[in-house]
C-alpha cells in the first residue's frame, strides 16, 4: 500500500433489508434463484459504494453473498451433512446445533471466486477477501468422521489453500482468515493452529492476514467478555508464535476492549490492522477518538505498518450506524495521517 494508514473493515457489513432481514446473524435470504443472485450482486455494489463514499482505502464485498462467515463456506464442501445436526459448545461460550462431518471433506467447486471477480470489476481500490480459518471452521462442526480436531483442521487448510489461490488469481490483494478461535484454544493454536493457517497460505503471492477478535457484538459474546476481567491478555498466548509465522498482517480488536495495547509489541514487524471502531455498540466514535487510538498504537507499531480497522465485522449493526462508523474511521485516520506528514 502506498497510502499511509490505509483504512479497511474486518469484513462483513450490514445487508440491505430487501436482501435479508437486517441486524441479524444467519438472516435468511428474502429472494431465490436468479433473483437472489442478481440481488446479491446489487447489494455488493451498494456496500462497495458505501465504503468508497466513506473514503475506505482497502475495500471488501461486505460479505453480502454469504449468510454467515463460516457456514456459507462449509455449505460448499463435500463430507458435511447439514441435515445431521448435533449440539456442541461454540468456542466454550454457547451451545449451537451444528452440522456433522460424515465423510472425507473436499471442495465441490470454487465458493467465492465469482463474487471476487465481480468485486474486482467494480473498483480499482485494493480489495480484501475474508475466508474462515481452519480452527474456527472445525469449531462450528460435529466431527464423527476424522475424530481428530487437528486432522480436520489440516484437511480444511488444504481446501482453503485451493480457494485462496483462485481468489488471488481473481485479483484479490489481501486474503484474510478469520480465526476468533485463536483467542480460546491456546495450546492447540500453538501446537498446530498457526501451522494449519500457514498451510492455507502456502504458495500465495498476495498479502495474507489473520483476524483474531472477541467476536461479533452479539449477547453471547458480550456476556463472555464480562467474565474476562480488567485485562484481556489472550493475545499474549498466541502472538509470539504468530510473530514467527509467515502471515503478513494481524487484525486485532482494541477499541473499548480491555486489551492492553502493549501486547502489540509481541508482533513487532508485522503489519497490524488495529481495531479502532467498536462493533458492539451503536455509539459512533468521534474522529478524534479514532485518531487517539492510532496515536497510542504508534508506540508499538511502525507507521508504515499501521492499518486502521474495525474490531470485527459490522453485519449485525444497522446500515446507518455502520455508515457513521466507516466515516469516523476514515476521518480519524485522516487526522492522524496529517499529523504524521507535517
Report in angstroms how near the CB of residue 255 gets to Zn ion at its nearest. 12
Q: Which of residues 173-192 bind Zn ion (CB under 5 A)?
A: none
Binding mask 8-27 vs Zn ion (x if CB under 5 A, - otherwise)?
Answer: --------------------
d(C-alpha 105, C-alpha 145), whole Å: 10
Is residue 279 near Zn ion by the rule CB under 5 A?
A: no
Cβ-based nearer residue to Zn ion, 181 or 312: 312
Residue with cell 485494493: 126
CB 153 within 8 A of CB 193: yes
Select from 209, 181, 262, 163 the least CA-distant residue to 8.
209
**Binding positions for Zn ion, 207-246, rule CB under 5 A:** 213
The number of residues that bind Zn ion (CB under 5 A) is 2
CB of 59 to Zn ion, least distance (A): 18
Of 11 and 324, nearer to Zn ion (C-beta) is: 11
- The grid cell for 152 is 480436520
Cell 451451545 found at? 95
Measured CA to CA, the distance from residue 270 to residue 331 in angstroms comes to: 24
CB of 152 to Zn ion, least distance (A): 22
Residues constituting the chain: 342
CB of 234 to Zn ion, least distance (A): 13
Q: In this complex, which beta carbon is closest to Zn ion, that of residue 77 or of residue 279?
A: 279
- Minimum distance from CB of 16 to Zn ion (Å)? 22
Phi/psi for 302 (5° steps) reads -65, 145
CA dihedral 225, 217, 5, 210 (to 10 degrees): 70
Handedness of CA 19, 66, 242, 5 (dihedral sign): negative
Closer residue to Zn ion in complex, CB, 100/310: 310
Q: Choose, by CB under 5 A, the member of 312, 321, 328, 329 that binds Zn ion.
A: 312
Quote the least distance from Cβ 78 to Zn ion, whole Å: 27
Neighbours of 337 (CB within 10 A): 19
Residue number, 312 or 329, with CB nearest to Zn ion: 312
Chain residues that interact with Zn ion, rule: CB under 5 A: 213, 312
Amino acid at each position: 500500500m502506498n497510502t499511509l494508514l490505509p483504512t479497511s473493515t474486518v469484513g462483513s457489513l450490514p445487508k440491505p433489508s430487501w436482501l435479508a432481514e437486517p441486524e441479524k446473524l444467519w438472516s435468511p435470504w428474502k429472494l431465490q434463484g436468479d433473483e437472489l443472485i442478481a440481488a446479491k450482486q446489487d447489494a455488493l455494489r451498494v456496500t462497495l459504494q458505501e465504503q468508497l463514499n466513506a473514503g475506505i482505502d482497502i475495500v471488501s464485498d461486505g460479505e453480502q453473498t454469504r449468510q454467515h462467515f463460516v457456514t456459507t463456506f462449509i455449505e460448499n464442501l463435500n463430507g458435511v451433512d447439514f441435515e445431521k445436526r448435533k449440539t456442541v459448545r461454540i468456542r466454550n461460550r454457547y451451545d449451537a446445533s451444528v452440522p456433522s462431518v460424515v465423510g472425507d471433506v473436499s471442495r465441490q467447486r470454487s465458493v467465492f471466486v465469482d463474487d471476487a471477480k465481480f468485486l474486482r470489476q467494480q473498483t480499482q481500490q485494493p480489495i480484501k477477501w475474508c475466508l474462515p480459518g481452519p480452527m474456527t471452521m472445525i469449531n462450528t462442526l460435529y466431527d464423527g468422521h476424522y475424530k481428530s480436531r487437528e486432522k480436520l483442521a489440516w484437511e480444511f487448510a488444504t481446501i482453503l489453500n485451493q480457494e485462496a489461490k483462485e481468489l488471488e488469481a481473481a485479483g484479490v490483494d489481501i486474503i484474510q482468515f478469520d480465526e476468533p478461535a485463536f483467542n480460546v484454544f491456546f495450546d492447540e493454536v500453538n501446537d498446530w493452529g498457526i501451522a494449519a493457517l500457514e498451510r492455507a497460505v502456502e504458495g500465495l503471492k498476495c498479502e495474507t492476514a489473520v483476524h483474531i477478535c472477541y467476536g461479533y457484538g452479539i449477547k453471547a459474546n458480550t456476556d463472555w467478555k464480562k467474565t474476562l476481567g480488567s485485562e484481556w491478555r489472550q493475545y499474549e498466548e498466541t502472538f509470539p508464535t504468530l510473530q514467527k509465522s509467515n502471515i503478513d498482517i494481524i487484525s486485532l480488536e482494541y477499541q473499548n476492549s480491555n486489551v492492553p495495547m502493549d501486547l502489540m509489541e509481541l508482533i513487532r514487524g508485522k503489519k497490524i490492522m488495529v481495531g479502532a471502531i467498536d462493533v458492539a455498540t451503536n455509539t459512533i466514535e468521534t474522529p478524534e477518538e479514532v485518531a487517539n487510538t492510532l496515536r497510542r498504537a504508534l508506540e508499538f507499531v511502525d507507521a508504515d505498518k499501521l492499518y486502521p480497522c474495525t474490531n470485527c465485522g459490522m453485519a449485525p449493526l444497522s446500515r446507518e450506524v455502520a455508515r457513521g462508523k466507516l466515516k469516523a474511521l476514515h476521518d480519524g485516520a485522516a487526522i492522524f495521517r496529517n499529523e504524521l506528514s507535517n
